[in-house]
Every structure is written in structure tokens, then in C-alpha cells.
Amino acid sequence: MKILLDYSINELKETFSSQKSFVAEQIFSFAHNGKSVDEMTSLSKEFREYLKDEYVSVGAEVLKEFKGKEGTSKFLLKLVDNQLIECVFMENNYGNTICVSTQVGCRMGCKFCASGKDGLSRNLSAGEILSQIVLVNRLKGGNISKRAISNVVLMGSGEPLDNYDNVVKFFSLLNEKKGINVSERNISLSTCGICDKIYSLADSGHHPTLTISLHAADDVSRKKIMPIANKYSIDEIIKATKYYFEKTGRRVIFEYSLIEGVNDSLDEAKKLSTLVKGFPSHVNLIRLNKVDGANLSCSGGAKKFLSALTSMGVSATIRRSLGSDVEGACGQLKRRYLGEGQNC
Ligand code: SAH
């Protein structure tokens, strides 16, 4: 089955060239409103029957919503090929945020993260990434003229820059004026630091907020927890990040999950401050969330680490952790399997 949300308006026009050109725009807005082909009632019944043989409108369906505290919900979604993914909806005082997955599983293998536990199954298409937003927007009472979602973060399962082409196409679809139209100022892409793709993104014309999962201030410690550190050094990441800032003018965010005895010493805080000073950036300190099987624990020294950074002039905060009561916090989203129990 092909997914209508994978297509731009022009691609729909080309694909359905035997139809009047406004039909493509109608299909586009129905799909971006989360409507099924059956609900596309302004199209002729005959055409809808033809569409249904080959296409679904949205590339996923919601199997379950796990409601957590403070308006946070985790959604379990089934893709057209029965694979399962998760996304998380969070209410904030500045608007609602959705955290979407970009791959089924992940092949980065970070030691502290559940998403890569069983490796990568496959990339999500642009329309499948968008489907998560379209479905949750509709479920929360939104549509394309009045969005229930104002911020999008690519921080669910998967490494977005390991699925670069689909992610870039997703940005174009999401920015489309006739669609959900979330501005790139309100989109964050989080990466473990695939440098060549950071350069490509900077040159692509798409400028979401770049968030780097750094989690260590030197290569030796980083290699212990993140295999990608064997491919790119921290110096290379900082160089690519500065390039991103120069090209886009966007402040870069560094994520740093504090792990007891691994990266939480004051010496590490000093090294981190040297790395991130000199260009507009911000450090988000994250309290490590519990992940089964990972023999790593949350540092008790978050406040000390924070005051060390701020006293050295680094802009830094400890991030509010949302969703851990539904296993929906950072690093807790994983590849689920049909029939697998969920402990919430
Ligand atoms: N692959 C991307 C995006 C997914 S993870 C990346 O690496 O950035 C989103 C954020 O959660 C990343 O900063 C990631 O390092 C962090 N994270 C993963 N596991 C975590 C855990 N157990 N506790 C806290 N943060 C975690």
C-alpha cells in the first residue's frame, strides 16, 4: 500500500493527472487533516474506490494511548506493514509538543538508550513520520487550520540523520502552507552527531533547531557510551555544529545526560564549558532515565554540575523530564512487538 501523506501537492498532481488539478489539493488537505480515503467525501465514490485499492491516506493507526501525568501521553502506532512505533505528546505552557520517531528501532547502539536495543528494523518514510503528527493532532482536536500541536521534536526512536532524505522530505511536507505548517523555528532535530549530514542539513535550506546528543566532554568517555564516537570525534562535531550556526544563525543545543561516575565530574564540566563556549549554544542537562538492561545510573550531582557550568559562563538548564511514568521519556521509546506487555 502506498501512503498519500508521502506525496507533495505537486507529486499528487502528477500521480493523479487524469483528475482536475484541485483534486490533488483536496487529497492533500484531507490527508493532512488525518482523514481516511473513505472520509474524502468530496471526491467521487468511484475515485475513492480506485484510491483504496492502492493507497492509504495516513501511514499508521493508533493502537493505544497511554496517559501519563501533566497532560503527557505516549501513543503506540501500527504501520502499514504491522511494525510498531511510538510517539509522545506533551503539554507545555508555551504550546503542545510532539516527539516523533524517525526509524523503527535504531542502529546507533548508545548504551543508555532503549531505542537501539534490538537494532534497526527500517527507516520511516517522510509520510510515516508525518503520520504521527497528523494522527495525534486530530485526536487532540486539531486540524490544519487550528493546530493542536505547535512544536515538533525528532527525538523519538531512531537517528534522524541516519534517515536523512526522508527527514528532509518530511520537513518540506510539514512546512507546506496548505498542510499542518509548523515553522522550522518550532522544530528540533536531535542527533548523536553524524557530521557529514550536519553539513548537508546546514546547506539544505531546512533549518530546524539542531540538538546534539553529546553526553561526554572527551572522546574516551564518549566511546564508552556511544559507538558513533568511534566514527566522529567531539572536535569534528563541534566544527560541524559551528558551521550549522554560521549558516543558519540558529543557536545549537547540546544534550548531556548525567550518568553517575561516567560523565558527571567537575573536571568534565570544565571540559564541556571549553567545548561549547565561543558560539551561541545552550546545554540541556538530562537526568538519565531508567532503561532495562543498561547498567548505568542517574547522577546525583545534577545541581552541582549545573552550577559549575553556569559559573563558567555556560548557558545551561536541567531539563524537565516528562513521560517517564509511561516509559515515554528520553531514551525510553523502543521497538515494540505485537502482543508485548506494556507496564502502564
Ligand atoms: N538519535 C537521536 C534522537 C533520539 S534520542 C539522538 O541521539 O539525539 C533523544 C535524546 O534522548 C538524545 O539526546 C538521547 O541521547 C537522549 N537519551 C537517550 N536515552 C536516554 C536516557 N536513558 N535518559 C536520558 N536521555 C536519554
Could you report the per-residue pLDDT of 181-209, keeping only the tens digit for each? 999 999 999 999 999 999 999 999 999 99
> How many Å lie between the centroid of ligand 1 and the Cα of residue 101?
12
Q: 321: Cβ–Cβ under 8 A, 6 or more apart, which residues?
A: 286, 287, 289, 329, 330
User: 302 or 344: whose pLDDT is higher?
Assistant: 302
From 86, 213, 327, the mutation candidate for ligand 1 (largest count of ligand atoms within 8 A of CB) is 213
From residue 9, how far is each of 1, 23, 63, 126, 142 by CA, in Å?
A: 19, 10, 29, 14, 21
Q: In ligand 1, which atom is closest to the CA atom of 190?
A: 8
In this prediction, residue 279 carries a pLDDT of 85
> How many Å lie between the centroid of ligand 1 and the Cα of residue 147?
27
**Nine-digit cell at 33?**
487533516
Q: Exposed, middle or buried by CB within 10 Å (0-12, 13-18, 19+), for 202?
A: buried
User: Same fold for the domain at 1-57 and the one at 59-339?
Assistant: no
* Closest C-alpha to ligand 1, atom 24: 288
Summarize pLDDT for 211-238 with one digit per residue, the tens.
999 999 999 999 999 999 999 999 999 9
Query: What average pLDDT does range 309-335 have in this prediction?
Result: 80
Query: What average pLDDT does range 154-162 have in this prediction?
Result: 97
> How many Å lie between the centroid of ligand 1 and the Cα of residue 330?
5
From 90, 155, 210, 226, the mutation candidate for ligand 1 (largest count of ligand atoms within 8 A of CB) is 155
Query: What average pLDDT does range 110-136 have in this prediction?
Result: 94
Q: In ligand 1, which atom is closest to the CA atom of 158?
A: 1
Summarize pLDDT for 253-271 with one digit per residue, the tens.
999 999 999 999 999 999 9
In this prediction, residue 338 carries a pLDDT of 56
Q: What is the CATH number of domain 59-339?
A: 3.20.20.70
User: pLDDT grade, residue 342 (50/70/90)?
Assistant: very low
Residues flanking ligand 1, CB < 6 Å: 108, 110, 112-113, 155, 159, 190-192, 213, 215, 255, 257, 286, 288-289, 291, 330-331
* Closest C-alpha to ligand 1, atom 5: 155
User: 161 or 21: whose pLDDT is higher?
Assistant: 161
User: pLDDT grade, residue 343 (50/70/90)?
Assistant: very low
> How many Å lie between the centroid of ligand 1 and the Cα of residue 114?
9
Summarize pLDDT for 124-143 with one digit per residue, the tens.
999 999 999 999 999 999 99
Order the strands of the 252-258 sheet from edge to edge. Answer: 60-67, 73-79, 84-92, 95-99, 151-154, 187-191, 209-213, 252-258, 281-287, 316-318
> How many Å lie between the centroid of ligand 1 and the Cα of residue 321?
12
Q: In ligand 1, which atom is closest to the CA atom of 211?
A: 8
Q: What is the CATH number of domain 1-57?
A: 1.10.150.530
Q: Mean of the per-residue pLDDT values for the chain?
A: 93
User: pLDDT grade, residue 344 (50/70/90)?
Assistant: very low
**Domain ranges, ordered by start, for the chain:** 1-57, 59-339
From 106, 255, 290, the mutation candidate for ligand 1 (largest count of ligand atoms within 8 A of CB) is 255
From 98, 101, 102, 190, the mutation candidate for ligand 1 (largest count of ligand atoms within 8 A of CB) is 190
Residues identified as active-site: 86, 330
* Closest C-alpha to ligand 1, atom 8: 191
* Closest C-alpha to ligand 1, atom 17: 331
Q: In ligand 1, which atom is closest to the CA atom of 192?
A: 7
> How many Å lie between the centroid of ligand 1 and the Cα of residue 214?
10
> How many Å lie between the centroid of ligand 1 and the Cα of residue 56?
32
Whether the predicted model's global pTM rises above the 0.75 cut: yes
In this prediction, residue 277 carries a pLDDT of 87
Q: In ligand 1, which atom is closest to the CA atom of 255?
A: 13
In this prediction, residue 114 carries a pLDDT of 85
Q: In ligand 1, which atom is closest to the CA atom of 294?
A: 22
φ, ψ (nearest 5 deg) of residue 87: -145, 165
User: pLDDT grade, residue 21 (50/70/90)?
Assistant: confident
